[in-house]
Amino acid sequence: MNADVRLAEWFDRAGRDLPWRHTRDPYAILVSEIMLQQTQVARVIPRYLEWLERWPTAETLAAASLDAVLRAWQGLGYNRRAANLHRAAQAVAANGWPDDLTTLPGVGRYTADAIACFALGRDVLPVDVNIGRVLERSQMRFAAGSAQALMDLGATVCLARVPRCDACPLADGCPSRGRRYEPLRRQGRFEGSFRQRRAQALRAFLEGRDPEDEEAVAALRRDGLLPA
């Protein structure tokens, strides 16, 4: 039994039921992928559903004001992602989906490949952190159709520090079976950081107050998150 088949059988039993797995709409996939960048799945699910209820198409999002988009994004972090999603929707509304999806604002190689695989049916395996970890440790090759299963395996079984090898469908042929790993470098603290100051300045603006942190305001303006 090859690796794709073993993985598929495991996914049938243990795969996560996520709302963006019930659509092939490239816009909905784009929204989910941008939201999922550095944000936990449990936090994204309700916000994703609310977002699509409010802005169900690229055209409706494109017609919204940036202020409205940023307000709706509050709590998801990294507001630049919201601004890029808004700009990407405007580009799609004006010109359609480009052949090279990386030309859309905020869309890198992984996000482009995810849209291509999950929405457009292209034979490409999108490699995020979870999939990359499984590929590196297992030294196995997988078809594009295994992408969702690989994501779940990396997120729930092939964990960064202490993998659950006893629950892994690939364990028998995995050269990394039983290994443990050093903790990854921690992200710099948010409390008291410039990131926090930017977030506070943006929140003040969206609430109709005058942001007093001139340095943070200047940075937000450079990123297109506040009017010049």
- Go through 80-105 and write b for each residue having 16 or more CB atoms within 10 A of its CB, e for each that does not: ebbbbbbbbbbbbbeeeeeeebeebe
Q: For this structure, is 33 an active site residue?
A: yes
**pLDDT level of residue 186 (50, 70, 90 thresholds):** low
As a whole number of angstroms, the distance between CA 21 and CA 28 comes to: 10
**pLDDT level of residue 187 (50, 70, 90 thresholds):** low
Q: In the CATH hierarchy, which fold is given to the domain comprising 25-118? A: Endonuclease III; domain 1 (1.10.340)
- Catalytic one of 33, 136, 212, 214: 33
Domain boundaries, the chain: 25-118, 190-228
Three-state secondary-structure class, residue 150:
helix
Q: pTM for this structure?
A: 0.83
Lowest mean pLDDT among 6-10, 17-21, 187-191: 187-191
Question: Do residues 56 and 89 touch, judged by C-beta distance below 8 A?
Answer: no
For the record, the structure tokens of 211 come out as 């942001």
What Å distances lie between residue 88 and 32, 155, 164, 167, CA to CA? 14, 28, 38, 40
CA 146 to chain centre: 18
As a whole number of angstroms, the distance between CA 70 and CA 58 comes to: 16
